Amino acid sequence: VPRDTVVSLDGVLQPPDAAPASRHPERREADVRRTLDATVFDPAAFRRAATRVVSRLEAYLRDCSTRGVALTSPAALLEAARNLMSTEDAAGSLDERRLDAIIDLYIRTGIQVHSPGFMGRQFSGVMPLAAVVDLISSTVNQPSSFYEAAQLPNVAERIMAEELNRFVGWEPGRFAMVTTSGASLANLTAMLAARHSQFPDVWTRGLAAAGGDARPAIAIGDDAHYSVCRAAGILGIGEEQIVRLPMNRRRQIRVDCVRPVLRAAAERGLRVFCLVASAGTTSVGAFDPLEELAAVAAEEDVWLHVDAAHGASLLVSDSLRHRLRGIDRADSFSWDAHKMMFVPAMCTLLFYRCKEKSYGAFRQDASYVFDKEPDAYTEFESATQSFECTKRPMIMSLWVLWALYGRSVFARKIEYLCRLAGDARRILDGERDFEAVHEPEANILCFRYLPSNLARRVVPDFQVRVRNGVRRAGRFFISKVDIDGEAALRVVFMNHRTDTGHFRMLLDEIRRAGQAVLAEEDVHA
């Protein structure tokens, strides 16, 4: 690879020993093309770079040590990253040592998702083959909203919709599945479709067309993910029109309260068009009683959307599927495969029970992409149903894993992680200085560290400071969440390398961090 290709003042890339830029525009253009092909676009350079990257990633994947995140200050990282940048006159030549250094910095500064110490968030240590598929996707670059641009991804979407529907049970051909860039967008899209189904004129005439004096509203459980309220904001519903449904001790929506709350909302002049349930919640992984909520929603003529971003993956397990009993009666639900299906972010599936209604979210003409007459190809594409125009062919990693490994590898991993949460809960029972906040229904467990020497004083934000202490120590990565207005430590088991031994080690780490906070308080007292 020419090392010292340069950019001349007129911006033309020149190979190192090329004659000075030709006065003939045609020859100059040819030089540019030849140089690009010999440098940035050189297939052999691509293979060399990919080989270097893969061998470093192999070492990374082999490392089973217990690590969380090495948090670097943004200023230091900015400097380190800037120092790795070539000067402009590198112009397409590849400095492989610089590439190595960038990979190392990227890996080193991330949350170590493949380590057993990673217990903090819902994204996962991916099945590595998925990353290989992502490499193909990035190379062949087939955005998936349109069939002509991404034929196999569109067919794979159809196959995965049918495969996963085996666990839902909808009539083939009558339901729809659309991929979206994240569950936040899936929730927004479903709520748009719900709004259209109740207020079909709003898309054209605006919110003023929504139901005379009745104001459009949604009903949610208190633990709904923030993306739901954000979507309500985008839809122009307004926070005052978000109706809160009371929760039970397990942090599920109380079905017995739904009817009275909807009636009270109607008396306040609200028209609740969508009830958003969760399966499971972000905070504790609780599953709302979908069957019962679906019955109320149908009776009240309200669209039931289930935010199953986290928990839908339990559908693929024979022993855990029952947690989502009733999902077949929902109008729509979102499913993040980049959570418990262990593929890289983003990969979200939005399912609709009724295919026609999936076209209600967006209603537009755009002659440069949409044809007036649908044909055999457009029938397969999602452009009219999803927000994105250019969209990652996100289904490919999921489909390839599913096609090559089959269902059981997903089911086994999910079952292991949920079992581990139950085992960890039982371990807490035996520890006097810890208190569990709930019974885990999935792979999320929240608890508090309450040592006896804490009881004697008030330490503001104690759990949060403990969590930050654990993070600082760098061996474990956990998160925190407010439950009933009070912070708790939150563990999300996403990694089959984590076992109960690691959980016990985590408890010791929490004790160390907690005692350090208390000692610090003493110093300041």
Which residues of this chain interact with ligand PLP, rule CB under 6 A?
122, 182-184, 225, 227, 278, 282, 307, 309-310, 336, 348
The residue among 274, 301, 309 whose CA lies nearest residue 192 is 274
CB of 383 to ligand PLP, least distance (A): 20
Q: What one-letter code names the amino acid at 107?
A: I
Which CB atom, from 184 or from 463, has the smaller least distance to ligand PLP? 184
Q: What is the DSSP string of 169-207?
A: -PPTTT-EEEEESSHHHHHHHHHHHHHHHH-TTHHHH-G
H/E/C letters for each residue in 473-522?
Answer: HCCCECEEEEECCEEEEEEECCCCCCCHHHHHHHHHHHHHHHHHHHHHHH
Q: How many CB atoms lie within 10 A of CB 75?
A: 8
CB of 181 to ligand PLP, least distance (A): 8
CB of 186 to ligand PLP, least distance (A): 8
Which CB atom, from 93 or from 332, has the smaller least distance to ligand PLP? 332
Q: Any alpha helices (H) in 95-247, and if so which ranges?
A: 96-108, 128-140, 151-165, 183-198, 202-205, 226-234
Q: How many CB atoms lie within 10 A of CB 415?
A: 17
Which CB atom, from 278 or from 498, has the smaller least distance to ligand PLP? 278
User: Are the C-beta atoms of residues 13 and 42 closer than 8 Å to each other?
Assistant: no
CB of 192 to ligand PLP, least distance (A): 16
Which CB atom, from 183 or from 297, has the smaller least distance to ligand PLP? 183
Cα 513 to Cα 469: distance, rounded to the nearest angstrom: 5
Cα 384 to Cα 212: distance, rounded to the nearest angstrom: 29
Cα 21 to Cα 14: distance, rounded to the nearest angstrom: 8
Cα 168 to Cα 206: distance, rounded to the nearest angstrom: 35
Which CB atom, from 122 or from 144, has the smaller least distance to ligand PLP? 122
Which CB atom, from 153 or from 311, has the smaller least distance to ligand PLP? 311
Residue nearest to ligand PLP (CB): 182
CB of 218 to ligand PLP, least distance (A): 15
Which CB atom, from 190 or from 316, has the smaller least distance to ligand PLP? 190
The residue among 198, 232, 207, 206 whose CA lies nearest residue 218 is 232
Which CB atom, from 183 or from 247, has the smaller least distance to ligand PLP? 183
Which CB atom, from 184 or from 198, has the smaller least distance to ligand PLP? 184
Cα 404 to Cα 418: distance, rounded to the nearest angstrom: 24
The residue among 457, 443, 409, 450 whose CA lies nearest residue 428 is 450
Helix H or strand E segment including 221: strand 215-221
Which CB atom, from 13 or from 478, has the smaller least distance to ligand PLP? 478
Q: Are strands 6-7 and 215-221 parallel, antiparallel or unpaired?
A: unpaired
Which CB atom, from 101 or from 113, has the smaller least distance to ligand PLP? 113
**Distances 375 to 15, 147, 378 between C-alpha atoms, Å:** 48, 11, 5
Sign of CA dihedral 204, 207, 208, 212: positive
Q: Which residues contact 247 (CB under 8 A, 6 or more apart)?
A: 221, 222, 223, 253, 254
CB of 280 to ligand PLP, least distance (A): 7
